[in-house]
Amino acid sequence: MTGQGAHWKTTRLAVALVGVLGGQARAAAPKPPTIEISVIHALHADGGLSIDPRLRDLPQLTREQPFVRYNVYKLLGRKELVVEAGRPVTERLVNGRALQVTLLDANEQDGRNRFHMRVAIDEPGKGSLLKLLEVTASGNEPFFVGGQSYQGGTLFLELIIRP
Amino acid sequence: MRLPLETLLELMALSDGELTGEAKERAEALVNTDGQAREVVETMRAAHIGAWLKETLESTAALAGADRISDALAPELAKLAASPKQRAQASGVRQPRGPRSFGARFAFGVTGAGLALAAAVLLYVGQGGRLVGRGLRVANQREAPIDSALSGATTQGVVGQVASSEGVVVDEIDSPNHDISLFEITSAGISSGGPRAASVVIWIEEGVK
């Protein structure tokens, strides 16, 4: 690396540090929202109800359709991805499909943040399972996409936007 | 500041397009999951910062060491960092729109003129679930009347609507060749942390029709 090259690198690093530290110093700076994606495997099996303890809210849901169809629930994975307006984030699912979530916009309504999102599920080499789903939800308000067959059961995708 | 120096260097290399293979994937994954990492890369990539920086560097590099250059740049960059709008413009990030009227509703679809149907629609209301279409594109193209309710009728070409004062609004669904059902959830205590939160399950039948 040349002397000037080294200077350039060091300076750019300083730029990044200043930018990041400056950002941290701004108490009012909004933290970018994240989308929490939980992949849940649901089965109907002999025996009683079995719910992965990490699915803290599911017991209430299992009394309602379509959750009532299954009695074994296991969390296969949970991930939180930063979302930014207009920039899709993609998560590869256990069945090979790709879940894509795009934050379209966010605004405040009646004192609550409302997030308008677009969701799609594609399978490489095949058509879309879900070509387009547009949903508006408040922060920390989950919604689910279900119905994908997986290992004798089905997958529920729980999506929650975290402001 | 919690990102280690070597990670910062790697992010810098990513912003320069110098990373390949596993290192690139690792850095991109970090950017996707870590706001601070993303901020570093966006700062690096900000076009106007880069141009100005390069100009500044070229004019001063011969006269000063890198540390002194960094010291000189820091106050200016700190000012820039203090302006979210500028930062957003620099990174090409779209700013959220102004207030959008979603209405106080829980929309599964809209009747009549508000719909764009890509295929014939078969409707029924099942126990707790509503099959709203097959190969259906349900587009909410106008503000929905708040008080309209799901018709409950099996009527071709018409999709009902459920109104609610809170919860998730399904604005549009398009799933060619698959049956779509919507289930309203009214249980208390779901992840929202709120006292009661209406939510929804969008059910896409796996089998292609």
Task: Give the pLDDT confidence of A2-50 residue by residue, as tens digits.
Answer: 556 666 676 666 666 656 665 555 555 678 899 999 999 999 999 889 9
Total domains in chain A come to 2
Please list every residue in chain A whose beta carbon sits closer than 8 Å to the beta carbon of residue B32.
81-82, 89
Q: How far apart are CA A161 and CA A47, in angstroms?
A: 34
Range of the domain at A15: 1-30
Same domain for A23 and A38, yes or no, is no
Q: How far is B63 from chain A (nearest CA, A)?
A: 11
pLDDT in tens, A139-151: 988 999 999 999 9
pTM over 0.80: no
Same domain for A120 and A143, yes or no, is yes
Same domain for A65 and A3, yes or no, is no
Same domain for A75 and A135, yes or no, is yes
pLDDT higher than threshold 90 for residue A158: yes
Nearest CA in chain B to A33: B35
Q: How far is B58 from chain A (nearest CA, A)?
A: 9
- A78, with CB counted inside 10 A (0-12, 13-18, 19+), is middle
B119-129: average pLDDT: 32
Same domain for A4 and A43, yes or no, is no
CB of B154 less than 8 A from some CB of A? no
Same domain for A146 and A99, yes or no, is yes
Same domain for A20 and A51, yes or no, is no
Same domain for A123 and A150, yes or no, is yes
Same domain for A13 and A57, yes or no, is no
Phi, psi of B196 (to 5 degrees): -145, 135
CB–CB of B93 and A138 under 8 A?
Answer: no
The torsion angle over the Cα atoms of residues A163, B4, B9 and B12, rounded to 10 degrees, is 10
Same domain for A26 and A41, yes or no, is no
CB–CB of A64 and B187 under 8 A?
Answer: yes
Same domain for A43 and A116, yes or no, is yes
CB–CB of B1 and A20 under 8 A?
Answer: yes
Considering only the beta carbons, identify the residue of A16, A21, A107 that sits closest to B96. A107
Same domain for A14 and A39, yes or no, is no
